[in-house]
Structure 1
Amino acid sequence: MEDGKLTVRAVERALDIMLCFTGATELTLTEIASRVDLHKSTVHRLLASLEGKGFIMRDAATDKYRLGYRLWELSANLSKEGDPGIILLPEMERLRDQLGETISLYVQDGLLRVRIQAVQSNQAIRRVAPVGARMPLYVGASSKVLVAFAEPALHEKLLASADWPTGLDQQAFLQQLSDTKLAGFATSVEEREPGAAAVSAPVLDRGGRLVAALAVSGPANRLTLEVMQEQAPLIMEAARRMGTMLR
């Protein structure tokens, strides 16, 4: 039993190392060890195993690690059927061409939201939205949408989370959720990062179940509250069309 626990722990640690690369292309051994909070000798052994299986590559010139080609082999066999990130991409591109800003699609994963698809703005000054980025559910336009249109149990779990920021008023947050549900969309201005703004609407399937949050984001000096209010009907209509495309 003890050997089994050690094996599972090794798997969890290896997966934690892989997840370090969701926000970075290359990392040193020291950087990885710091992110997973493990001794460098332990991380080095795990990296050697991952490298041996092709999941991690090491650049001998820089002594940095990056994701290996084996992941491409696995991703080639991902099922595209029913994947909203694939199905809704053409509509996202159309909305980007219509509004000129970056378009993202988010889904809830526990107490986080994950960007599963993005179409970058073609403007010189734009907000870059990396696919796979994970963000907390208590801040941002898409977070408000994902929580407002979710089951009440998620509200309770989020408010009771140990990660809830001490300076964030829960009653004000609940009021934002109520306003979002009533309006059918949410906005945010510099809530998560300085200089950025976003407006988001829910994508509901034909049964009325929440699938994802569709978001338009860009510089706050371009996406003012007035502009976002004007664009909201277009975004909600795009989200409605997307919902009809999903089974």
Structure 2
Amino acid sequence: MEKKTVRSVERALDILLCFTTQHELSLTEISHQVGLNKSTVYRLLASLEKKGFVAKNEATEKYRLGFRVWELSAHLERVDDPAVMLLPEMERLRDILDETVTLYVRDGKERVRVQAVESKQTIRRVAPIGVRMPLNVGASGKILVAYAEPEVQEMILNDPDWPEHIDKEAFMLQLLKIRQLGYATSVEEREAGTSAIAAPIFNRQGKCVAALAVSGPTGRLTLEKMEEIAPTVMDFASRMSKMVG
């Protein structure tokens, strides 16, 4: 006997399934794919956006999957989930450097920690999964901005909540240097006593989809030490890019 289903739930799920083949879709495109009128699709998208399952790119007026999907996938044991797929490489990097290794993705004007492997040292960086942080401070945040599309950078820089103590011109110069070096560093930018180095992870289309970061106490992870380990971090990020691609 066929089970009864809730029509509105089915429609919302059909909208989410539209993103299995495309990264971003307009309201019109989604409406066409699911066979519903725009007003109905708009209301469903508003509900999904409120719950974090989709996000709207204000620059392009298109929708994409939100990172509540990442939060759910953290509980799935699937080899094709990037947070799970990259875990062995993250563990290898942790064992080599003996510092905490984390993976971040951008969600609008924030970054979300979607995976973490903590150092085995007594004094270490504790990194709970699912935490949201700003993009204008921290090595991984700067990576996600440095390699973002121009319209995304503009949105972030023009954010009315941009901290007054962070000079935008200096920040842009930092982004330029990051692209030249291929990695970013931070010392006590977001949290006292903590340093971090991060490198970009790209997909097959060359888009930065995540930031691989190594963090630890400033006493161990000095600027000199981060410069020393930068080639290793970038090498692992490059290998992860091939895996994601």
What TM-score comes out, normalization by structure 1 length?
Answer: 0.69
Are the structure 2 counterparts of residues 144 and 116 from structure 1 closer, same or farther at C-alpha, using a change threshold of 3 Å? same
Are residue 113 (structure 1) and residue 111 (structure 2) matched?
yes
Higher-Rg structure is 1
Give the aligned partner of residue 237 of structure 1.
235
Aligned counterparts, 1:16-165, within 5 A: 78=76, 80=78, 82-165=80-163
Give the match's secondary structure for 1:135: strand
Equivalent of 2:220, from 216, 219, 222? Answer: 222
- The alpha-carbon deviation at position 167 of structure 1 amounts to 1.2
Deviation at 1:76, TM superposition (A): 8.9
Deviations along 1:154-178, whole A, 9 cap, x unmatched? 1110111011001110000000000
Q: Which residue of 2 aligns with 1:194?
A: 192
In 2, the alpha carbon distance for the partners of 1:76 and 1:151 equals 27
CA distance in 2, matches of 1:81, 1:238: 18
**CA 1:75–1:110 in 2, change beyond 3 Å: closer, same or farther?**
closer
Q: Is the 8 A contact 2:73 2:81 kept in 1?
A: no
Report the identity percentage: 56
The answer to whether the aligner puts 1:180 opposite 2:178 as a matched pair is: yes
Q: 1: CA distance between counterparts of 2:228 and 2:212? A: 16
**d(CA) in 1 for partners of 2:152 and 2:201?**
18
Deviation at 1:151, TM superposition (A): 0.3
In structure 2, C-alpha distance between the alignment counterparts of 1:125 and 1:137, rounded to whole Å: 26
CA distance in 1 between counterparts of 2:89 and 2:192 reads: 28
| 155 and 82 in structure 1: CA distance in 2 versus 1, 3 angstrom threshold | same
Distance of 2:203 and 2:130 partners within structure 1? 22
Q: Which amino acid aligns with 2:147?
A: F
- Report the Cα offset of residue 224 of structure 1: 0.1
Counterpart CA distance in 2 for 1:137 and 1:76 is: 22
Compared with structure 1, are the counterparts of its residues 76 and 203 closer, same or farther at alpha carbon in structure 2 (3 Å cutoff)?
closer
TM-score, length of structure 2 as denominator length: 0.69
- How many residue pairs were aligned? 181
Shift of 1:145: 0.5
After superposition, the C-alpha distances for 1:187-233 in whole angstroms (9 at most, x for unaligned) are 00000010000000001123322110000000011100000000000
CA distance in 2, matches of 1:243, 1:184: 14
Gaps of 5+ in 2: 1-42, 53-71
CA contact (8 A) 2:98 2:121 kept: yes
